[in-house]
Structure 1
Amino acid sequence: MNDIVKKSHQFITARLELTAREQDFVTLLMKSVKKSADEIKYTLGTDLHENFEYERIPTKFSFTTAELSNLFQVSPSALYHSLDELTDSLMGKVAYLKNPEKNSFEKAVLFSDASYSKGVLTLEVSRSTAARMLDYSKGFAEIDLKLLFSLKGAYEKRILEILSRFKNQRDFKVSLDDFSLMIGSSRERYQTFSDFRKVVIERPLKKIIERSEGVWTAKDKAGKGYELVKDGRTYSHIIFKMQWNEPKHLKKKIKVNEPQVLDLNTAVKTFVELKEKACLPSVAELDNLKSHMGLLMLDGFEVDTEFLALFKEAQEANDKLK
């Protein structure tokens, strides 16, 4: 399984109230939609334009019993009943997407259909929801899939997604009301603010830090990973003080004395490897990618600030290997 899942800013900041397992299914769906879009984009290249792409993206995605049992750590015999209950709850779930700048909002039904037959679960999404999942015009998050699935709590998963969206910012500040809506909670559910803080903020951040094994660390003096801001006597905002550290477990093996074909196809391959952080491209591959960057952009490949940061990191990593 790919180590990264890409989610649009709209869905990261959406108002969502999902259980941990429901979030995992939404993640599976988004990953499948993105994979299908990439396959179309890489196959058709310059003949592909935005509307054309959405019209050709499949809206039905299937998952086998073996895949789901392994992913969710449920025996095949128990999976049927788990899926039956889970799809019941998911069919009515909606993502509330807001755009304060335009004073507008959208509501997207996450799943339009679900069926299970002969050991295969099929989920269907509307084409408009799939298009929203692929709308990265306002930015996106690249989330560590292994870490995301290892977290068991709903708040932990949503907070990891939010942190991943803003990991290249110095700090991320949001009102506690908006934050609560994003993760599907509210202060009113708890008798005291202290209880809310422990359950909704402190414990999830502690879990993320523990599970990430050094990838996420707290950078505030108290080591909690956040600070609260008061408006008068009431806490009004939260500032996340979390540091994302580049994982060091992926290194590319350099093949000695093997000639490389440096062309547009190689540039596409390098682009994908860099985006997915699958390996460290060589200096020659990076130079080849740079020389073909204009053509890739014309083909619809997204060369944004986050990608340029990855490109620069790869160059610096190669310099250290010299």
Structure 2
Amino acid sequence: MSKMKVSTQPKHYIVPHSFLEGRQDLSKNAKRLLALAMIALQQERNKLYEDDPEGKVQVEGLPRKAQQMHYHNYMPSEEMIGRLPRVLKFDIYTLEQFFRTSGDSLRKTLKRTSESMVGRFISVSDKDTFTVMTPIPYAKYVAGSHLELSVTEQAIPQLFNHSRGYSSTELSLWCELESQHSQRLLEIISRHKERNNEKFEIDDIKRMLGVDYVVITNQEEAEESGQKVGDYRLRFNEKTHMMEKIPRYRAFRDFKRSVLDIAFGEIIQKSRGVWTPTDEKGVGYKLHRRGRAYSVIEICLQYQPDQTGNVPEKLVTPVEVSSVDPALAIIEELEAQIIAHLHTPVSKDEIDLYRKLAQRAGISIKPDIVQRIKMIESELGK
């Protein structure tokens, strides 16, 4: 058994390079759930760096630049990572601050968000590789008390890896943003704050913001198509006689109005002088053409550090954890409920959660359970 210790919430939210480069189409609250896990694990990385013989002690007395380089290149050994807790616990105060709500509204928000996020695949990318993983397989909320999240072992090295750079985002501002595209854009532009004219390919920005193509959003559609939730939705092209992806925005003006203008505008407005536009129109970006179509976006924002940083004092509270994968315990519990359906009725949401967790864990549903689920769904459909 192991425990996490109470930590102080940082003023900045660290996003590793691979998470910046990967595609994300999470809702704002799903991003907040992922951010909670990432911040807590970042604190654990810092603690390991202090204690590990291969960590901070290796560069004591060296110039500051060398120390910084060593810190960002630091990756704990598998043995050290294995000591980390897999369940993180967040108190009610932190949850209210992060999700901007409280009481029953907070419970409903966390329930919807957890159901959409648990088992969700996330894409992380580097120059020559990509990884598709499920970072959060389990969530449990106790009303008025705390939220527990588990993190998969495969996700931790990705979250710890700073070797190719990272984004350091003001957490207080990030929590204020209402659009998921604003949150994601802030992470992207915070990678190089000293540059106010960084350029990106339009296609890359669309991909990183998760608005390049339409994706499958529910389990029923995924099962019918033989794909996974989060995969690109495909359609048959009558001209080419091939399956093709469906663009999220047919017209560029719709992408500009619905994504770029809203995201840049919200960051400029809510940052209160931290991010100020430098372009003539004051929108925070410029578009450049290759031929007739826009193909490049230039970031036109100047960064001035915020000196206030209004953030909660505590993030992580102690929690005991075991080496047993908590998702498996939930699967077993739901399976028992399905078997005992006549005595303890099972809801459609519980059946859907059981299927989702079993699929993500690679567990084949037993034939007798399949039959019981069909019977229950038949009853619920009446």
Provide TM-score, normalisation by structure 1: 0.71
In structure 2, the partner of 1:39 is 47
Offset at residue 202 of structure 1 (A): 1.5
Query: What amino acid is the match of 1:105?
Result: F
Bigger shift: 88-97 or 131-140? 88-97
Offset at residue 47 of structure 1 (A): 7.1
Offset at residue 223 of structure 1 (A): 1.7
Q: 1:74 aligns with which of 98, 101, 125?
A: 101
Query: Does residue 1:8 correspond to 2:35, yes or no?
Result: no
In structure 2, the partner of 1:107 is 132
Query: What amino acid is the match of 2:273?
Result: G
Gaps of 5+ in 2: 1-8, 57-74, 214-246, 310-382
Q: How far apart are the structure 2 equivalents of 1:88 and 1:10?
A: 25
* Preserved CA contact (<8 Å) 2:139 2:147: yes
Offset at residue 185 of structure 1 (A): 0.9
Q: How far apart are the structure 2 equivalents of 1:237 and 1:128?
A: 34
* Preserved CA contact (<8 Å) 1:90 1:110: no
Q: 1:130 aligns with which of 156, 160, 169?
A: 156
Give RMSD over aligned pairs: 2.1
In structure 2, the partner of 1:65 is 92
* Preserved CA contact (<8 Å) 1:37 1:57: no
Give the percent of matched residue pairs that are identical in Structure 1 and Structure 2: 25
Matched residues, number: 248
SS at match of 1:169: coil
Query: Does residue 1:23 correspond to 2:50, yes or no?
Result: no
Q: How far apart are the structure 1 equivalents of 2:116 and 2:54?
A: 41
Query: Does residue 1:165 correspond to 2:191, yes or no?
Result: yes
Query: What amino acid is the match of 1:12?
Result: L
Offset at residue 123 of structure 1 (A): 0.6
Q: 1:239 aligns with which of 280, 289, 298?
A: 298
Query: Does residue 1:87 correspond to 2:117, yes or no?
Result: no
Structure with greater Cα Rg: 2
In structure 1, the partner of 2:263 is 204
- Which structure ranks higher in relative contact order (CA pairs < 8 Å, sequence separation ≥ 6)? 2
| Cα deviation 1:1-38 (Å, max 9, x = unaligned) | 42111110111121011001111111111000011121
Q: How far apart are the structure 1 equivalents of 2:255 and 2:50?
A: 46
Query: What amino acid is the match of 2:12?
Result: I
Q: How far apart are the structure 2 equivalents of 1:94 and 1:158?
A: 17
Query: What amino acid is the match of 2:40?
Result: S
| Cα deviation 1:163-188 (Å, max 9, x = unaligned) | 00122235222111111111111383
Q: 1:154 aligns with which of 180, 202, 205?
A: 180
Q: How far apart are the structure 2 equivalents of 1:167 and 1:217?
A: 12
Query: What amino acid is the match of 2:27?
Result: T
Distance 1:249 1:91, change over 3 A: closer
Offset at residue 199 of structure 1 (A): 1.6
Query: Does residue 1:174 correspond to 2:182, yes or no?
Result: no
In structure 1, the partner of 2:249 is 190
Offset at residue 156 of structure 1 (A): 0.4
Q: 1:224 aligns with which of 267, 271, 283?
A: 283
* Preserved CA contact (<8 Å) 2:48 2:76: no
* Preserved CA contact (<8 Å) 1:69 1:75: yes
Offset at residue 44 of structure 1 (A): 4.0
SS at match of 1:50: coil
Distance 1:134 1:47, change over 3 A: closer
Offset at residue 142 of structure 1 (A): 0.8
* Preserved CA contact (<8 Å) 1:151 1:208: yes
| Cα deviation 1:115-141 (Å, max 9, x = unaligned) | 224632111111221110110010011
Q: How far apart are the structure 1 equivalents of 2:304 and 2:254?
A: 30
Offset at residue 97 of structure 1 (A): 1.9
In structure 2, the partner of 1:256 is none
Structure with the larger helix share: 1
Query: What amino acid is the match of 1:209?
Result: I
The 5 A counterparts of 1:251-270 are none
Offset at residue 225 of structure 1 (A): 1.4
Query: Does residue 1:145 correspond to 2:171, yes or no?
Result: yes
* Preserved CA contact (<8 Å) 1:9 1:141: yes
* Preserved CA contact (<8 Å) 2:196 2:299: no
Gaps of 5+ in 1: 251-322
In structure 1, the partner of 2:377 is none
Distance 1:27 1:170, change over 3 A: same
| Cα deviation 1:272-297 (Å, max 9, x = unaligned) | xxxxxxxxxxxxxxxxxxxxxxxxxx
